[in-house]
Amino acid sequence: MNTPVVREAALVEAFVRLADTLVDDYDVIELFHGLCADCVTLLRADAAGLLLTDQRESLQVVSASSEQAHLIELFQIQSQQGPCLDCFRTSQVVRVDDLSVESRWPRFSARAREHGFGAVHALPMRLRGQTIGALNLFHREPLVMSEADLNVGQALADVATIAILSDRNTRERELLTEQLQAALTSRVVIEQAKGVLAERGGIGLDEAFTRLREHARRTNQRLSELARGVVIGTYDTAALLRPR
């Protein structure tokens, strides 16, 4: 099958999934992780991460497609420097085509290169003048992303932002606060579940998360609920650790 045709079909599926969140109940954790996964698949990024504001207007890492991306996102918040923070503050796309010659954030550039990244592109999560976070694309090699790919990434971010802020008989800020707090709480449980699986199965954390997410989809469970069962011991991890 022609590659552009395959990509077009995948794009349609991604937007349909995001649109479904506007008309039906949805798992906010799956929304966040699905957005990052779609960016890796559709935009040829090597990793993706998502930062959103909490009830104190502070940025928090709510999703990342890999441990390296998660660590880099945390470093940006802790050091208060990096393209993702600038993207959030300015509500503008921030392009870093080659980290080896980037001088705006020396500590971030050095740390990102240590983790194997050569380029970063940050897209604002915004709606009608309100910016709630940033979607960040990481690349192993220096890369000038095409305007077409950046536009697709921004469209995905925009639809996800609408879903997050959609009014369901409550004010937008209350909904965002509730969903984000749930996401942050669930992320802690998911990280614990990844650790349990990694230790029991002798596998990496990324592989542990992949197994959790795939099993949740296959058994029609919420990812956060499956993770909680793994952590408290009410879910048999043998099914998750069988050779695939």
Per-residue pLDDT reduced to its tens digit, 63-117 = 999 999 999 999 999 999 999 999 999 999 999 999 999 999 999 999 999 999 9
Whole-number pLDDT of residue 168: 39
pTM for the model: 0.68
Q: Where are the alpha helices (DSSP H) in the chain?
A: 3-20, 28-42, 67-79, 83-90, 106-114, 147-165, 172-201, 205-218, 223-232, 238-241
In this structure, are 118 and 161 located in the same domain? Answer: yes
Of 138, 166, 194, which residue is a domain's last? Answer: 166
d(CA 95, CA 233): 44
Q: Are 161 and 179 in contact (CB under 8 A)?
A: no
Residue-range definition of the domain harbouring residue 28: 3-166
d(CA 92, CA 83): 10
Residue 169 — pLDDT band, cuts 50, 70, 90? Answer: very low
Asked, for residue 173, whether it belongs to a domain, the answer is: no
DSSP state of 66: S
The CATH number covering residue 226 comes to 1.10.10
In this structure, are 125 and 215 located in the same domain? Answer: no
Q: How confident is the model over 149-165, as pLDDT tens digits? A: 999 999 999 988 887 77
Pick from 180, 71, 208, 58: nearest CA to 136:
71
